[in-house]
Structure 1
Amino acid sequence: MSRTAPDARPYATPVVGRYVHDMDAPAHSMLGLAPLTEALAERGVDLAGLLAGTGISPEAMSDPQARISHRQKIALFGNVLRLTPEPAIGLIAGRRQRLSDFGVFGYAVMSSATLADAIAFGIRHVRLAGPVLEKSFRVEGDTAIFEARDVMALGALLPLATEFWFSSIQVLTEHVLGREFRGRQLLLPYPAPSYAARYEDFLHCPVAFDADVMQWQFDASMLGMPLPNANPITADVCASFCSRMLEELTEEPALVRSIKEACLNSMSDLPRAEQMAERLQLSPRTLHRRLVDAGTSYQAIIDGLRERLAIEFLERTDLSVDEIAERSGFSDVSNFRKAFKKWTGQTPAYYRDSPPGSRTSCRSPPPSRGRSQRPG
């Protein structure tokens, strides 16, 4: 994907996010949900009651690698709607979002050259952030349009899910821009709630209810606006890495796919195998056995992600080895150097300075699917 600032024409055809349609697959990150539980806790709603009947553990709510299914997320929203004393809780909680929690995905969005780049990446890779509504983006004339569709028939939960998403997008866009963001109008396909006047306070644009579509419209001239944290090289590395990972995940077993998607959300704090097993609601023994059946191991998955991301940064950016270590999931740079030497037979500095043809890797080819491999 080009990171050059685009004009409006490439977006005449909508950019559409890709989704997992299995209602019970662990497809959703917990990232972004903590502001919702925190806002409810401040209003006297305890976490145990909020999670009742969802199958989500209290520990998962603050865990960036934890994964839940569409069905679990919808159950959580149902509890929010039932328990909250504040009808505008979705708008309020959305304003508390932090883009910096989103790992490689967050690095790519924040370091994009322009708002158009950030939006295009966010929509194409929205699956990494755990969507409920199906989202797309396009430009018509001088109007840029975010559009969402309720593909899950959320019913009474639609206003809550919509408010939480649009409020989150509003504040995250302001983080990316480093300034206030004002849209032209917001069109929503449901009746105005009793607190409808508060929408404009949170979303900074006129709102029309009972519309035929769900759209957030803004001035397309903003798309070419340079971003304050722009680093096109870093953005390109992160975007390319995420794109390839998502493409490869479609060909991999569901368990391997779930682990990789969870890790992509927060490379800086990767879980142990036992922790991942708990997040996926498996025993450690079952996790290892199923990975062996898939022809891999938990450690091989983690090492593969770290190695590939480190090589991307070494080959394509001027980031220091310390910075690359952090972005590759290492808290100690000496451990990163040892691991990189084990993977490639070379130190990070030597690898970066070597001609491409002389670079080697000590990693053995992965076994074919179905062959046994000792768990890492």
Structure 2
Amino acid sequence: MTDITIAMPFVIQSLEGAAAAGCDTKLFLKECGISPALLEQNQARIALDNFVMLQQRIMKVMNDEGMGLFDRPLRLGSFDLMAHAMMAFETIGEILERMCHYNNLFEVGFIHAIEIHDKYITYQLHRRHPGAVKNSYIATSSAMTIHRFLCWISMTRVPLVSVHLDYPPPDWSAEYRSVFYGFPVKFNEKCIELTFHESDMLLPNKQDFSGLHAYVARAPRNIFTPHENLSYSTKIRAEILRCIHKERDVPNMEKIAEQLSIHPQTLRRRLQEESTDFMLLRTQARRDVAIYMLSNTQYRIQDISDQLGFSETSAFVRAFKGWMGTTPMAYRKL
């Protein structure tokens, strides 16, 4: 099962290019197991599996990896072509430089550039013209794709000194905590920028072509799947989910700290450094498991409540309504 869910604004924006091209977006949603009624629920979320299926469907029908959200199509196979070319280089510094070159050859959406400042390397994405990039989702995912590829090819989380985005903070800006692994994000900047430590550009290419084939086949799942064993928030979420699924228990901070062999106070500080806290991570994990289980009709509401550690079903119903703006039963019927 997936334990990651996607906020509805990302789903809505993913559909905008297809809708403008006259595609039957309601049919796309139904084919991918997503109720069109969910688009009317501001707090709704869908499972990552369904979101990836939807994006892959749009890309295939439109023959456009940009889903109609750039000023011109980015034909299927473009990312695969670029990714294969990157395998010839030994360090992520070389790879980043060549990615910049290849992206500009496509002449789609952005002009890509690299700037060097003292001990920092900044990858920039400048919009080719005011209408070149249709919405914030495709702008964000373009930056995410670059960063996630570097993480994958080096088999490590490549630290970001900062992230600049060239649009106002959306109502769902809280989602950007996970989008950019908790690294600092600024909005309303002159262009999109990913800034790295120059020293990290020496990280080696640790992948091979067999791994690349699998990576490309998973796209765009890769940009929403955290690189394993990255941060304390990622580790904690994974441990909470393990306890929910395997032990039918929702652990407290002390139990998680013991599992990670770290003092609770130290763990609390680490989470503060990542701009999050334990209760938020636990709530998000419970919410995402609830959404998954509700999509499977074999689970009764009481079963889900018990799995998530609620003392009474009514307490789960109240909590779910607080998360999603509707009751579990109403959500299941959407």
Ranked by relative contact order (alpha carbons within 8 Å, sequence separation 6 or more), the top structure is: 1
Q: Which has the larger radius of gyration?
A: 1
TM-score when normalising by structure 1: 0.36
TM-score when normalising by structure 2: 0.40
